[in-house]
A and B are shown apart, each in its own frame.
Chain A
Amino acid sequence: MAGTVTVSTPLIDWHALWQVLYISAGTSLGLVLLFTIGVYALSAFQHKDTVVLYRGASVLVASLSAAGVLAMVVWGFYYIVNK
């Protein structure tokens, strides 16, 4: 006996809402974390009492965090425009 299967669409798209939550949480917390690390590293670099090696490492961390922030923003826009 043949029967039809009815698939009801949920009123609220929980899946999309869940995606909005974790993508925006991941992106904003990631960006704030990277930027804060960069600011902290810059602050450490400006400290006059620190050794040269530590100052060099601070510059490296600050540069890497700036690159990370930039990469996340570029990836975000690429994702929005192309996906």
Chain B
Amino acid sequence: MHNTFLLALVVIVAIGFDFTNGFHDTANAVAPSVATGALKPRTAVLLSSVLNVVGALLSLKVAATIASGIVSQGDIILPVVFAGLVGAIAWNVTTWYFAIPSSSSHALIGGVVGAMMAHAGTSSVLWSGIVGKVLAPSIAAPVFALVIAALATTMSRRLTKKSNDATKSWGMRAGQIGSSSLLSIAHGTNDAQKTMGVITLALIANGTLVANSSTPMWVVLLCGIAIGMGTYIGGWRIIRTMGQGFTRLSPTQGFASQITSSAVILTSSHFGMPLSTTYVATGSILGSGIGTKKRSVRWSLAGRVGVAWLITLPCAAMCGVVSFYAAKALGYSLGDVVMGVVLALYCSFIFLRSRRDKIDASNVNDKWGEHDEAFEKPVAKVAAADNELVGV
């Protein structure tokens, strides 16, 4: 009885995490299209949400990695999964409030690892899996994306130097609709699977599935729908950071960065690597900024985001540890209910605070950092160059 109750609680919170993953990461797929005007904001998030669901149904390799490659399946219990999810949601919502494009995947993995260490010690964590399957791809993939996007942007910019501005602008914006769609599918393929992996882990912990089982179809569908709904809500705060903050995106840059992100994420998903789609998308956008003539990138913002990336895993792990011990002190069933209520209150508080400086579809493309003189000068030049280039 208790197990079924806890399992249901874990599944509900996991779906909640998948939802936050959707709205936190909407920016990865739609920010360049929204920033360049290739798609209207509402159309962009609708298209992305549908294609995230499609992506979620494509592959299960990342889910398998999460379910079997991060922590020891033999030591896992439901409260560990629950505490990990609570930690991940708390971190996701906090970074969303501060408009920081941090990794939902690292928040999830950090939360589960922290809770697992609190429950069964460090030996229950598969450190080789953490380093080999999480950290190494997470460091390498954004660097790959940055370099490839810089090359792609430079190549495309030089090839279309003499072409008709209006045709180029129209063509690249049309291409962005395709590349944004591809990126949404890629995001669904990689990110929805992480929650599928965690629910599979919970089912194994509960004894519903035997170890190393594959993910049931109802889990796949539920996760696909949850991430799609989260995406449709639209994490406008982060869309604004990624679309307007790092660089002034032209249609050529937007197209190159989205194609690069899609290729890196889909290839990594194919090899079962649960990388951060946010880091890849950020790397591509920075790369597309480097690929412009003026190489104009707001590095101060990139640095702040980099710091957030560094602390995501340990902070989510800490949240997982605190959540696990709090639930344990109250008795797992009651404790998990209390932690669920605390989490819901925290999320409501953050949501209400975010209303003070609301960012939505109407102001997502407003000018970034009007008082940031150090950056505005080069941006103004780039903007002028872009306008000349695309005939705006």
Chain A positions within 8 Å of B, measured between CB atoms, are: 9-13, 16-17, 19-21, 23-25, 27-29, 31-33, 35-40, 42-44, 46-47, 69, 73, 76-77, 79-81, 83
Contact = CB atoms under 8 A, between A and B. Distances in A.
B132 A20 contact: no
Contact of A24 (B168, B172, B256, B260): B260
Given A19-B267, A31-B263, A32-B156, 10 more contacts: A12-B136, A20-B137, A24-B264, A28-B152, A36-B155, A36-B159, A37-B159, A39-B163, A44-B163, A81-B59
Nearest to B167: A43
Contacts, number: 117
B121 interface: no
A24 B263 CA distance: 5
B271 A38 contact: no
A33 B58 CA distance: 27
B164 A47 contact: yes
B118 interface: no
B144 interface: yes
Contact of B148 (A12, A28, A42, A83): A28
B167 A23 contact: no
A39 B132 contact: no
A24 B267 contact: yes
22 contacts: A10-B132, A11-B128, A17-B137, A19-B267, A19-B271, A20-B141, A21-B140, A21-B144, A28-B148, A31-B259, A31-B263, A32-B259, A33-B156, A33-B159, A36-B159, A36-B160, A38-B171, A39-B163, A39-B175, A44-B163, A77-B58, A80-B58
